[in-house]
Structure 1
Amino acid sequence: MDGSLKTKLTTIAVVAGMLGLFVYGVSTFDVSIWRILSGFGNLGTFVVLMLPPDPGSLARAIIFVKALFETIAIAFLGTILAAILAFPLGFIAARNVVANKIVHFFARRSLDTVRGVDALIWALIWINVVGLGPFAGMLAIMTSDLGAFGKLYSEAIESADRKPVEGVTSLGGGKLHEIRFGLIPQVLPVIASQVLYYIESNTRSSTIIGIVGAGGIGLYLAETIRTLEWQQVSFLILLILAAVTAIDFLSAKLRFAIIGKRAV
């Protein structure tokens, strides 16, 4: 079969499958615009109950802020540990570094397996291993991001320019020299940018895993929702939004410092 024809048939099959899944979802989930419109009244009721944001007391506000910093620490430490551990795995999973197809296959599938389990599930697993608290949350973020970073690193390494590597080889450099002087300088800015983005993203994820007992502000968010303390809920949400905004601002500054304004 001609290569272009095979590509066209594959594309048609993928598009048809996506359309079929969309139709199945719409017909099965009882999607209705009227249900959404009628639900806006309930949403307005919740908004009124949440105003004005109020922690309840100064002592309660201090507890909430401390929990917020705990959430940020969970996200930061988990992301950094995952980034460090995934660094060698990314090279093992890259085709242009490890040519052995068997090693490459098992490296990629292992990363897919780890990445395929959501951070919330990893939190439940680690809670049963090390107990409740932020340590379990940090391990959940680390494990979840390990697979994602390994995949992203390997793709960045595979798309790196071959000319610097060939230049190192022409000067008599070995495989380690090719990696150290030919590949790492190219992929390091990309990797740093990805790590900074994940620190921001994991701040939100750490809030969710806190709900199941993995530490941080999520525990208090779940508690206030359960006890219908809506003004405290809105206060916690504002704290989370402020933290994510600040982290996004700082990470953007760092990204521009690392990879330059051309990233815009």
Structure 2
Amino acid sequence: MSRPSSSLRAAALADLDGLRCRHPGAFRTPPARRLAVAAVLAGVVGLAVLAMVRLDFSLMRLVNGVGRLGDFAVLMLPPSPEGQFLTFLKALGETLGIAFLGTLTASLMALPVAFLAARNVMPNPFLRFGVRRGFDVIRSVDVLIWALIWINVVGLGPFAGALAIACSDVGGLGKLFSEAIETADRKPQEGVASSGGSALHRVRFGLLPGVLPVLTSQMLYYFESNTRSATIIGIVGAGGIGQYLTELIRVLELQQVAFLVLMILVTVALIDLVSGRIRRAIIGPAAR
């Protein structure tokens, strides 16, 4: 394959002037396209400059802040629980429970609704459009806002955190589930229909087995991501290790803060390792 392509390239380079004469359009960028590219670049640069001006961007403040960040890094060494290891471990387990329960609840809620948003399952365009826009509305609200809402509804604690993650993930998982369902192979569904199966049988035996590994992979990824989200929402009082993290930052107990951050990093790395192996076991060796 390399020799023919090399010889073709050499022949094209040798006849470059002739190619320019015969195909001038391939060697010349239209003025309108150049103008459009220049306009886009100018717009991006203009928006960047406007954002820096409105956000009071200052290079000196950034340099001074980096210096203070170095001072904080020195104060965080060595990481130490200072006798609070069991307390931190319990809070970390609470964070994992929030992430797991929230992800599981969101998955169970999103899966049946996702079929209503899939074009190859729901022929009614109005219902499909309404369900899709509903997913957009739900996932447009950040998990931190959902946490603040549920804290005011059910009170402080991990229950509010699990509800916040569940509400936030319904929209995202529903969108991903519906897209996976739409891209499913149609041949198994046609086989079930040709053998006399109903529409429900077509979905149950022809569609669901083919997309289930992809859906499982997406759920595992969301669980991994929600472990970090559960840490963040703990800062506003939704339970978990985030509560201790924000309190220790406020009182500048930086060695304990460093220990908590280290615990979170190790936990996320372990979850990534385990979920990666589960994905490979479900999807196959090609899964990452």
Q: How many residue pairs end up in the alignment?
A: 252
Q: 1:28: how far off?
A: 3.2
| Larger Rg, first or second structure (1 or 2) | 2
Aligned twin of 2:123: 99
Report the TM-score when normalising by structure 2.
0.82
Q: Deviations over 1:14-57 (max 9, x none)?
A: 96797364454344334455543443211110001111111121
Which amino acid counterpart does residue 226 of structure 2 have in structure 1? N
2:81 is aligned with 1:55: yes
Determine the C-alpha separation between the residues in 2 that align with 1:176 and 1:15: 49
Higher relative contact order (CA 8 A, sep 6+): 1
CA gap of 1:95–1:205, structure 2 versus 1, over 3 A, is same
Percent of aligned pairs sharing the same letter: 60
Paired residue secondary structure (1:228) = coil
Query: Which residue of 1 is the match for residue 253 of structure 2?
Result: 229
Could you tell me how far 1:96 is from its partner in structure 2?
1.1
Question: Who is 2:200 aligned against?
Answer: 176
Q: Hey, what's the Cα distance between the residues in 1 that align with 2:42 and 2:191?
A: 46
Q: Secondary structure at the match of 2:286?
A: helix
Q: Distance in 2 between matches of 1:21 and 1:157?
A: 38
**2:61 pairs with 1:45:** no
Distance 1:69 1:204 in 2: 13
- Deviation larger for 234-243 or 38-47: 38-47
Deviation at 1:161, TM superposition (A): 1.6
Residue in 2 that maps onto 1:81? 105
Q: Distance in 2 between matches of 1:16 and 1:108?
A: 33
Unaligned runs of 5+ in 2: 1-32
Compared CA separation, residues 166 and 18, structure 1 to 2 (3 A): farther
CA distance in structure 2 between the aligned counterparts of 1:86 and 1:18, rounded to whole angstroms: 39
Tell me whether 1:28 sits opposite 2:54 in the alignment. yes
* Corresponding residue for residue 151 of structure 2: 127
In structure 1, C-alpha distance between the alignment counterparts of 2:97 and 2:225, rounded to whole Å? 13
Letter in 1 for 2:281: A
The offset of 1:201, in angstroms, is: 0.5
Cα shift readout 1:73-131 (whole Å, capped 9, x = no counterpart): 10011101111111101101111111111111111111111111111100111111111
Q: In the alignment, residue 263 of structure 1 is paired with which amino acid?
A: A
Pairwise mapping of residues 207-246 of structure 1 onto structure 2 (< 5 A)? 207-246=231-270
Question: 1:18 and 1:94 mapped to 2: Cα distance?
Answer: 37
Structure 2 residue identity aligned to 1:221: L
- Root mean square deviation of aligned Cα: 2.1
User: Counterparts of 1:179 and 1:22 in 2: how far apart (Å)?
Assistant: 48
TM-score by length of 1: 0.89
Residue of structure 1 equivalent to 2:187: 163
